[in-house]
Structure 1
């Protein structure tokens, strides 16, 4: 029977094995699979991932102010005894131990965190003393970790103080082979002093750095008055505001800062510092000595240089970066330049002024010591969490010290007990067979039940060195016993006091003394003085764009294909350099501070300062680089709005219906309108401003200025022309279609027009056969608008209108 069962079992196993070999899974495996919706599975896993990022990577803990990677770096250096008195050690050694023992992520991220903890322009009080190239404020990367060395700064010892006595909770490392602290027992309010920046999943943190002395004063102030309000902590010798390592000016009111600290969120406006360093015959030197926190100095200098080369900052002659350990960027100003306006321009157009968005989000302690809860806190809440943490650390330290003292007193009691019976003890030891036999005989001689010795005391006696039996040594042991009993009473008294009584509680007094000592030791030297100044907001220095444009005469040339360029002088436009097959559309003159208007075929006017048109002696640049054109849109006319050229385009103060000088536009379907130019004086956005509405399939053919014009001559492709009074064409205050100027056949289209003052004005056209024909406005009688016009020729059509040779305006004067 046994064999048969074995055979049957073998058969079943063989069947399973054969299924497995054929690739058929065992049916029993499916019994452990649970079917759940994909949405639920994805949500579950994403929540786990986000929780891991929030608690284990991105957010600092409110107690020690450190992220896990920073905490693990300091703990590893603590284990390696790399304090401020040790020799520097290779960063690669530190990074390797951190990665192998506690932080199972890439070595580059660990090294980047180590480098940042050593940079004086990144942290208000760096925790690591680096030797070698650890990067610069210009954005230079640190040297490879095999070349650099590090050790801890003295302030880091305050962060790691009491760690050896296990005053904080520990947790297993990622592989379970070691233990690491959940938080470090920091005496330094590190989260406020050094700040933090991090992006988690669905939340972020951006905590500005603060002055150590002010932060400790705020903690002491809170201890003196636990009911103090948030706004009272942002006053006097307490926290005045952030204190950035790179200095700068904080341009916020006291009320704004108090609101930021009360809500845990807000915006801090931060400026660099510039002042006149010296004056020369060539001009003043504006020196920038401080820049906003987080700004790359090289990028800032490059941006200022770009503005100078682009002639957008003409008051600056030269930019020199003379920085060494201190920041020094010299701007050589032109003679009689206003430094205040230059600074105001730099604040607006360069990173010399930035916004720091405050977000006081961090991890707060929960019932589970290994997992923190993310919360946005106010300043008072952050200070309270730190004080409570320091109180808990102190309580744990006193408790551990008490246990250690009691253990030592227990041993010393044993020593004191046998001092009067040393001869008997020595005799017992000499007659014993070994340590265990001696221990048994001593414990029998001094039984524990009668106040004698226990095993622990007996073992300590047997390990006692003979020289300790001298009378002087015995007295030292008795003195030690007396001192330790006194210390036990002190600790028991401290642990028994009321921890809610902040005024008389012994433990709170110790916390207070430690904060005062911290200020005395680290808050009184030159490096700890406040660097960022709180600037009372004043009226901004007013300036206009014209203040930064050199006023000089220039010419702008625009081609039919849409290429544009600016030159100081164009004596003969016909000799300008053009692309093959291209032709000149317009050449306008004006001052660099004045506006030029480009009118497109879709009824949109694009305007810009003449200074903004690219200067070029070549083909120029496509106008699409300056403005945002639609498909098929092209420029049909250009006009200078320089008052010397265009005349008076403002509305008549006497109440006239339209300005003396305005514009006339006509579309290919025969419609026309007049409109004012005053609304186009200021430069437009890239999208431009609409001046006319055109039907689908039609387009604007031309736009011309009207200077007291009496009539207008219009010409169509079917060789028809008409002259009508300008007054019959409606003047529109907004963009519109206009009125019918010339009635056209279905196949006809309007080619162009020419305003006339009543004199003999000429218009040259080209027929489809290539012949040129001159049309005189004085040849045809004036009729009402909307007619079909007069036939110019019996056969053929008009191909295009050819204007007279384009020349710069004659009235262009200096």
Structure 2
């Protein structure tokens, strides 16, 4: 990769008028058309791998440290910090009048955050949403979005100002208690971190995705976090698990409430390692009871869940008949959440709630990741780390110690400057007449200052230039005796305060209980709880349920038990209808034919057997209900190339009979299945393993040889005979019990010996009656073969010749039998 070096003046070989200097053209060639050798000296060859690595590293570091991750000290990302700092400069405190958000966003983008205005406005909106932050930092006026996922109005319509708690975040900023850095264009300064008195990282949490890492910190209760900080101050050796107990941090406290169903051990492990999963679910209870049915009311939803989508999901389950215990869903929410579910008469509300927890966003997981930026030697750059709860609290306490120390130092310096001035006033109080006389006889301010300093030289304990200037700026009314006494009192009070501050700054003891500055921090935390975590604001919203009783539910509880019919076509389309009187008159795609039509209860299973020896099962309720063509069966299962359905069988006991193994030790169940492949092999197998729904991949029942395929699967009892027919017009009848019963998937045994070019087309089991099998010859003629016409022989033979000339093209069912009808 070639890299172009820049010249010393920042240009690349071009003159001020935009033309190439030295007569060079834009292509770097001179007037003669030759390449200028001076340009070649400015080119540096760098491997593409190194150049890409260097640039990607710079990009990833920028995203990590300057955009996606919050700082452990103030808990803000850069964009949030810049928004609050800009609002402070615009004097938009909690007592100010609301100002247009567009003005705030414009100043943030123009002065400190050179990114898109939409991302800045999104951050501002989130900082004002009570359902996003536990303690919002911005008081918005107008449409700032909703928990239903509605977007905020455009920033030209909305207004904002800071909330009272934001004042505690910015309180010490005016005294320069934190480091400042240059903004992106070097025209002004911005704080590296805000001197927050609020443990904002834990109180409001944070979510962000950087390059190669992410953060997901849940919000917490302010009162609990402050008590945990006080506990750490009282006992620096306290363990993480001891901070998650008693009246300290019990667990996350989400702004939308909800119930946390983790055990204490799980929560302690999360806070000790900095990662884990918090199980959060909404709150619902029976609000009304009547003869027609109860009303299950949802009053709290999990944090981060879109309420409208959640209600839509519940309604989808209700109207698709997957939640038959619920008759109707009503969203009656206003400022408070209220979603009413009208239950049917006799419905169990606990089972409905358990189903909602399992199948809807009413229960979610919050993946905790306590990753944030920690301080380094460079105050402008933080190092990303995953911290434990104790480490986060420790960083915040020492950050508050640094801020407090800087505040006391600044206050001390200010006091010393003021004392220096007051001492000058006190020095000249007894010589006021002399000072006035000197001033009246002076030619100006500078001449008066020189004469006063000569009269009271600094080296003899007199006045310096700063004191003299303050005396000359003194208003005449301050020369009154009462005012002089006030100045002396002020001097006395300030000297006393200086001694207090010097004592605090000189106290470097590590004892968290005895150190003066740590006592001040304890007082700050206590006042923080008093001011911003009163009984209402400090009340925990998310309840911790360490012991929950899980309600056992089954799918059958939520399936309407009704009879239905399932129709499958040769081309692989399937549909479910409540009643099909005549399958031949059912609506099909052009050229398609009915393969099977089975009946059963919606709670029962239907088995689909494929040509590759795989059985796919599903509940009849889960099949598409349609009066049209239905849907391709490939949507329901995971088929391989060339695989197709060759048979379908209802697992309803009323239809299939007893498929369970005989407890007395019978070799095979009373009702089982017979399958045969096109290469002449056959096997019998049990159906009990297919009585429950399977995965999309299905379950194998036969291992078919390459190039062959299963031609049919039918239920048998082991006492029948079977008529097998091949394409070369050969057939044979043999006892079913000669075909081996396999407990697992296998190839089977030879049913009929076929010629090299021959293949088995199908078979027909018979109980001894005159069962008919209809075939179509290659000349288009139909021929009926009776199972009673031919004698029974052993399996494995070549069979007998069914006709002298021609071949059989296909086997045609006489007609798909009408499905069994049940009394409703």
Q: Is TM > 0.5 for Structure 1 vs Structure 2?
A: yes
Matched, 1:800 2:791: no
Alignment-derived partner of residue 457 in structure 2 = 447
Q: C-alpha distance in 1, partners of 2:68/2:75?
A: 12
Q: Secondary structure at the match of 1:565?
A: strand
Q: Deviations over 1:456-492 (max 9, x none)?
A: 1111111111111111111111111111111111111
Q: How does 1:384-533 map to 2 (within 5 A)?
A: 384-533=394-543
Displacement of 1:149 in angstroms is 0.3
CA distance 1:411–1:615, change in 2 (3 Å): same
1:523 and 1:811 map into 2 onto residues whose CA distance is 68
Alpha-carbon deviation of 1:618?
1.6
Aligned residues: 801
- Return the alpha-carbon distance in structure 2 between the equivalents of residues 803 and 444 of structure 1: 129
1:322 and 2:332 are equivalent in the alignment: yes
Choose the corresponding residue for 1:64, options 47, 71, 74: 74
The CA distance in 2 between the partners of 1:530 and 1:631, in whole Å, is 57
Q: Deviations over 1:318-342 (max 9, x none)?
A: 1111111111111111111111111
Aligned equivalents of 2:46 and 2:778: distance in 1?
78
In the TM superposition, what is the alpha-carbon distance from 1:304 to its structure 2 partner?
A: 1.0
Kindly indicate whether the alpha-carbon contact (under 8 Å) linking 2:293 and 2:343 is maintained by their aligned counterparts in 1: yes
The 5 Å alignment of 1:562-581 reads 562-581=572-591
Q: Does 1:349 align with 2:367?
A: no
* Alpha-carbon distance in 1 for matches of 2:531, 2:166: 13
TM-score (norm 1): 0.96
Structure 2's unaligned 5+ residue stretches are 1-19
Within the alignment, does 1:222 sit opposite 2:239 as a pair?
no
Conserved? CA contact 1:16–1:26, under 8 Å:
no
- Cα offset, 1:15, TM superposition: 11
In the other structure, the counterpart of 2:17 is: none
Matching residue within 332, 337, 347 for 2:347: 337
Residue 758 of structure 2 is matched in structure 1 by 748
Structure 2 match to 1:660: 670
In structure 2, the residue matched to 1:257 is: 267
**1:403 aligns to what SS in structure 2?**
helix
SS in 2 for 1:231: helix
Q: State the Cα deviation string for residues 172-202 of structure 1 (Å, max 9, x = none).
A: 1111110000100000000000000111111
Matching residue of 1:147: 157
Alignment of 1:578-617 (within 5 A): 578-617=588-627
**What residue number does 1:733 align with?**
743
1:232 aligns with 2:232: no
Residue 103 of structure 1 pairs with residue 100 of structure 2: no
Residue number in structure 2 paired with 1:680: 690
Query: Residues 757, 46 of structure 1: CA spacing in aligned structure 2 closer, same or farther, 3 A cutoff?
Result: same
Once the two structures are superposed, residues 604-646 of structure 1 have per-residue CA deviations (whole angstroms, 9 ceiling, x without a partner) of 1111101111111122222122112222221111111100110
- Per-residue Cα deviation, 1:138-172 (whole angstroms, up to 9, x for no partner): 11111100000000000000000110000001111
- Residues 675-706 of structure 1: CA deviation (Å, up to 9, x unaligned): 11011111111121111122222211111100
Matches of 1:323 and 1:683, distance apart in 2:
39
Q: Tell me if the contact between 1:637 and 1:703 (Cα under 8 Å) persists in the aligned partners.
A: yes
RMSD: 1.5
Cα distance in structure 1, aligned partners of 2:652 and 2:802? 37
Per-residue deviation at 1:62? 0.5
Q: CA deviation at 1:527?
A: 2.8
Paired with 1:30 and 1:555, the residues of 2 have a C-alpha distance of 81
Matched with 1:8 is none
State the shift of 1:37 in Å: 2.7
**Which of residues 302, 306, 313 in structure 2 aligns to 1:296?**
306
> What is the distance in 2 between the residues matched to 1:185 and 1:578?
73
Task: Report Cα offsets for 1:552-576 as digits up to 9, x if no partner.
Answer: 1111111112221111111222221
Conserved in 2, the CA contact under 8 Å of 1:270 and 1:355?
A: yes
Decide whether the 8 Å contact of 2:270 with 2:276 is kept in 1.
yes
Is the CA contact 1:652–1:659 (under 8 Å) kept in the aligned structure 2?
yes
SS of corresponding position for 1:799: strand
Distance 1:230 1:174 in 2: 40
Q: Verify the 8 A CA contact 1:645 1:811 in the aligned structure 2.
A: no
Q: Are positions 1:92 and 2:102 aligned together?
A: yes
Q: Distance in 2 between matches of 1:536 and 1:607?
A: 39
* Cα distance in 2 between the residues matched to 1:581 and 1:170: 78
Q: Which moved more, 1:165-174 or 1:492-501?
A: 492-501
1:569-596 Cα offsets, whole Å, 9 max, x none, are: 1122222122222221111111110011
Corresponding residue for residue 286 of structure 1? 296
2:641 counterpart of 1:641? no
Q: Bigger CA drift: 754-763 or 219-228?
A: 754-763
After superposition, the C-alpha distances for 1:251-270 in whole angstroms (9 at most, x for unaligned) are: 11101111111111111111
Name the CA distance, whole Å, in 1 between partners of 2:576 and 2:789: 39
- C-alpha separation between the residues in 2 aligned to 1:228 and 1:465? 58
Displacement of 1:809: 4.5
Map of 1:771 onto structure 2: 781
- In structure 2, which of residues 729, 738, 746 is the aligned counterpart of residue 719 of structure 1? 729
| 2:59 is the counterpart of 1:81 | no
What pairs with 1:22-41 in structure 2 (closer than 5 Å)?
Answer: 26-31=36-41, 33-41=43-51
TM-fit CA distance, 1:657: 1.1
